[in-house]
Structure 1
């Protein structure tokens, strides 16, 4: 009888360890359940951090005046991984626009949502108050809460682990945003 009791206890412990192992694998791989919500939160935080870094750099240049230039480096973990973006938002790219500050979104198809359970669009304010989301500054158009908004779409596979953000104020050159091989170049032109 003692031998049978030991084997039941051992089987019970093995079952508990197996459940913990399966839960851990799902959690680390972000494959289903609560781990997908954790992944969404991580992507949201990184999106907000990226938007904040860009807005702060623009604010610094704006405060320094014409002819000024600033560079910031932003580390990316989740936004550069299309697998993570697909698991969390069924997308494979990020969307950047400027609405009185930088906004970063992870589009689901052509849709962006600024609130609710499907929120995938995150903004931060800047000292440079200008809405460029309906100007030809940006080449792509998506739907934000049912309205068209212009911005730039960057595929996750084209992002690097570190994004270099270079902001300049060159009067007369207009408001321009260009992304090329890990470098986001922005020119602000408050008078233009």
Structure 2
């Protein structure tokens, strides 16, 4: 009796394991328009928003401390540094880039540079590719070509920013923000580090 009971318990546990295994395999298949793609898109969106928050919070910290201050933040990436993940999430075969810009806060845009579109509509999760986080430092530098090395043109409007290829992004990036009054306002990405110098009033 005890032996049969153990056998039934084992079969029950095995059946549960099998169901979970089938669900897991289906969940990582990422068939277009499937629930797994929706889940992946949400995960990408959360990470993009987290990146915007990390940059804006670091800028806010430096701005609040005043001239001469400096702050560093470390950000772990799992999705934004994987080209195939972004392509699956947005249903495209085109190469995607992570485009950073700044208007009263940090914008993180996930775009196809050959056909850039920006969609901040929170109700349209299928096409939403723009994520923003407000900062204490209020300034519009989206049209300033001296601050940013890259640009995109959307509907005839040129926006400047920092274009990051997913392949160039490691799993851990460093965000370094400083307020050096003697240096120009600047955003760069080199050696796994986003370096930002703010210049209020300049």
Residue aligning to 1:6: none
Give 1:118 shift.
1.0
Residue aligning to 2:56: 55
Residue aligning to 2:119: 113
Classify 1:83/1:120 alpha carbon distance in 2 versus 1 (closer, same or farther; 3 Å).
same
Give 1:145 shift.
7.1
Residue aligning to 1:161: 171
* Greater mean deviation of Cα atoms: 77-86 or 87-96: 87-96
Unaligned segments of structure 1, at least 5 residues: 1-13
SS of the residue 1:49 aligns to: helix
Give 1:143 shift.
4.4
Question: In 2, are the aligned partners of 1:164 and 1:184 still within 8 Å (CA)?
Answer: yes
Query: RMSD of the TM alignment (CA)?
Result: 2.2
Classify 1:63/1:54 alpha carbon distance in 2 versus 1 (closer, same or farther; 3 Å).
same
Unaligned segments of structure 2, at least 5 residues: 1-14
* Per-residue deviation, residues 85-124 of structure 1 (Å, max 9, x unmatched): 1111234321110110011011034222111341101000
Within the candidate set 87, 93, 98, 1:94 is matched to 98
Partner Cα distance (1:175, 1:106) in 2: 24
Question: In 2, are the aligned partners of 1:97 and 1:103 still within 8 Å (CA)?
Answer: yes
Partner Cα distance (2:185, 2:174) in 1: 18
Give 1:141 shift.
2.2
Classify 1:27/1:144 alpha carbon distance in 2 versus 1 (closer, same or farther; 3 Å).
farther
Partner Cα distance (2:154, 2:56) in 1: 20
Give 1:181 shift.
2.0
Partner Cα distance (2:174, 2:29) in 1: 28
* Per-residue deviation, residues 26-49 of structure 1 (Å, max 9, x unmatched): 312434311111111111100000
TM-score, length of structure 2 as denominator length: 0.80
Question: In 1, are the aligned partners of 2:149 and 2:188 still within 8 Å (CA)?
Answer: no
Q: How many residues are paired up?
A: 176
Give 1:144 shift.
5.2
Classify 1:185/1:26 alpha carbon distance in 2 versus 1 (closer, same or farther; 3 Å).
same
TM-score, length of structure 1 as denominator length: 0.84
SS of the residue 2:177 aligns to: strand
The answer on 1:40 being equivalent to 2:41 is yes
Question: In 2, are the aligned partners of 1:113 and 1:145 still within 8 Å (CA)?
Answer: no
Q: How does 1:143-162 map to 2 (within 5 A)?
A: 143=153, 147-162=157-172
Residue aligning to 1:176: 186
